[in-house]
Amino acid sequence: MRDILLPLLPLLRRYRTSYIIGTLCIVVSLWFKLQIPRYFWGALDELRTLDMGVAPVDEPHARQLIVTAALWILGSALLIGPIRTASRILVLGNSRRLSRDILEIVFARMLKLAPSFYERNPTGQLMSRCINDREYVRGLGGAVYMYMAETALMYLITVPLMLAMDVQLTLIAIAPYPIFLYLARQIALRIQITARAAQDSLGMIAEKVDESLSGQLIIKTLTLEEFDLRRFEERCLEYKRLTLQMTRLRAILIGTMMGLGGISTVLVLGIGGERVAEGNMSLGEFGLMLTYLTMLAVPTRTLGFVISSLRRGASAFERIREILDTEVAIRAAMPPSDSQGAQSPEENRPPSIKVKQLTHAFAAPSQQAHLEGSLGDEIRGSKADVPRVVLKDISFEVPPGTTLAIVGHTGAGKTLIARILARQLEVGPGMVYFDGKDITSIPTESVRNITGYVPQDAFLFSESLHDNVALGMPDADRIQVIKALEGAQLAGDLDQLPDGIETMIGERGVNLSGGQRQRTALARVLLLTPKLLILDDTLSAVDTHTSDAILDHLRPFAKERTTILIAHRLSSVHHADQILVLEEGEMLEKGTHEQLLAGNSWYAKTWSWQEKNQVEQQAAAELEAELERDFDSSRLDTGQGHED
């Protein structure tokens, strides 16, 4: 557990001044707290001596003794409250700041992790660590530290005072402690294991909730409500089982520590009472010993809570460290091999791209970085748990200011090339070059600054349409945003939106159609005017007429930048300077539209088939339009006949 919590110390050191002052407040409050029984039993001993005939009870000395003891007790009681409050404000305030620091560190780390990390790990698992586990870790820097400090200081102060009164009786009183602490340690280890399993189970519940909310359309379409509910209940029942198991262990632990205090009290009562009866110990000393032991019993009982909370916090921090310890897959830049060092591509002109024998493989799922609970047990060791080579010896060059189109079957590797060029996937050195420089020697931010990447799945935020388009350029004015919307052929749809460009489009753009979401994402990139434009099947949800209009607008725009265009409709890419055809991760053919049509290959056959389908679709559309006109005409004639 020490190895788990050691990385937490630098965060705690930030607030060492507050912790030191808070600890001093605890020491002072405990000192005053211990004065109350000392003066009470001391005064009682004096009064008992006076009552035995040494002096009359009502003499001024007795009254002064009572007043002095009462004032000390009253003063101590009045001071304990503010001092304890100050200690709690300082220590518990640090725990809030610790929670904030952990969230900032985790979020900063998550921003550096590659997109593939989020593809492997569900959102629910990440949220569970950032919210639930962070709260348990916050307890380590707050309540756990405070109770541990109070318990440790109480023993450090009280035990020497008890030893000063009676060494033998004190040793008898604390004799059961080693046995009980050993038992407590064994129970605490089981609590930590169970707590880790419960927290993983809670992460699976969060994962299921996120999955169900995101997939409500599919669930309702396929009438899977009962099935989805059963899956949710199964995860909740598992979490309930683990939580109850942990609660039982904590109850046993707390009961054990309470039993420790009871046994010690019984030993002191039996042996100390006999000494008082024999006259070897005064009643005040015996009462003070019992009071100190009773005061020790409270933090001893709390020790059960502290140990279990410490173990639970340790398992929670271990889960958070899984995120912090995840290696950043996309390195910023490799050390330069020449005297020029790592250089950035020119931001004021389109880059040239050279891909040389690009090969990319994914490790087996069990060998990839997964958070605990993210990878199902059914995958480990299965046929799917094997490495996959997804790109094999791909080579091409894209001169600056030209367009490369990439086509092929689904799963051919088109998107992988786009993500590698956009620096969303790590690639080995010597495979990809921008302006003659190895991409791994260029700072990642520099590549992304000149790149405008529009992926297949357009992600929109729960903001206005204006803010979504201006996401990469927050200071863009309304005219610039509308111009970008015009380029994406979305300006004509503004009249359909309730508040026009200021319409709130909902989470993930739920208020927009699929084509409108894609065009919004395209407008977002057009606003940035990147020098490298990557369109990954951006127009798949857009009708042919609108797609052609967008491409017509992009042609003059693309002449001033290097463009990578990925599409399934070959009519969308026939204007490209060169076309690359992929099949199962390998380059099948490469050339211009005319060159590829000249051969009897995949491109020529697909072009012919798509053109034939398009002609048939146009003929069907024209026939449908003609039938509608004839129907409207006949209905109009019928109406005219009735009027006559």
pLDDT at 268: 80
What per-residue confidence (pLDDT) applies to 639? 53
Q: Tokens representing 445?
A: 């931010």
pLDDT at res. 3 = 66
Per-residue confidence (pLDDT) for residue 634, from 0 to 100: 61
Q: What percent of the chain has pLDDT over 70?
A: 86
> What confidence score (pLDDT) does residue 273 get?
77
pLDDT at 379: 67
**pLDDT over 60 (residue 635):** no
In this predicted structure, what is the pLDDT of residue 339? 40
> Which residue type is seen at 395?
S
Q: What is the pLDDT of residues 300-332, one digit of tens each?
A: 777 777 887 888 888 888 888 888 888 776 765
Best CA proximity match to 538, nearest among 504, 557, 563, 575: 563
At residue 579 the predicted structure's pLDDT band, cuts being 50, 70 and 90, is very high
466 against 619, higher pLDDT = 466
Determine the pLDDT at residue 462: 84
Name which residue leads in pLDDT, 197 or 273: 197
Percentage, residues of the chain above pLDDT 90? 16
Question: What's the N-to-C CA distance of the chain in angstroms?
Answer: 97
Phi, psi at 338, each rounded to 5°: -125, 180
Contact present, 515 and 466 (Cβ < 8 Å): no
Specify the higher pLDDT residue, 343 or 46.
46
pLDDT beyond 80 at 594: yes
- The residue among 67 and 595 whose pLDDT is bigger is 595
Mean pLDDT of 278-300: 78
What pLDDT is recorded for position 182? 80
Cα distance between residue 134 and residue 100, in whole Å: 9
DSSP secondary structure of 454-513 = E-SS----SSBHHHHHTTT-TT--HHHHHHHHHHTT-GGGGGGSTTGGG-B--GGGTTS-
By DSSP bridging, strand 451-454 and strand 532-536 are parallel
Q: Is the pLDDT of residue 446 over 90?
A: no
Using alpha carbons, list the distances in angstroms from residue 68 to 43, 45, 463.
9, 14, 70
- pLDDT category at 337 given cuts 50, 70, 90 is very low
pLDDT, position 203:
83
Task: Please report the pLDDT score of residue 345 as a whole number.
Answer: 63
Q: Residue range 604-618: average pLDDT?
A: 77
Encoded tokens for 117: 């990390």
Which candidate, 150, 135, 137, places its Cα nearest to that of 87? 150
Work out the number of other CB atoms within 10 angstroms of the CB of residue 430. Answer: 12
Q: What is the average pLDDT across 232-245?
A: 91
Residue spans of beta strands (DSSP E) within 325-464: 353-362, 388-398, 403-408, 432-434, 437-438, 451-454
Segment 516-531 mean pLDDT = 90
Q: How confident is the model at residue 347 (pLDDT cuts 50, 70, 90)?
A: low
Q: What is the pLDDT of residue 448?
A: 87
Q: Which of 178-187, 559-568, 596-605 has the lowest mean pLDDT?
A: 178-187
pLDDT at 432 over 90: yes
Is residue 396 pLDDT above 90, yes or no?
A: yes
User: pLDDT tens-digit profile of 126-143?
Assistant: 888 888 889 889 888 888
The band of 621, judged by pLDDT with boundaries at 50, 70 and 90, is: low
Which of the four pLDDT bands, split at 50, 70 and 90, describes residue 460?
confident
Average model confidence (pLDDT) across the chain: 82
CA 299 – CA 159 distance, rounded (Å): 13
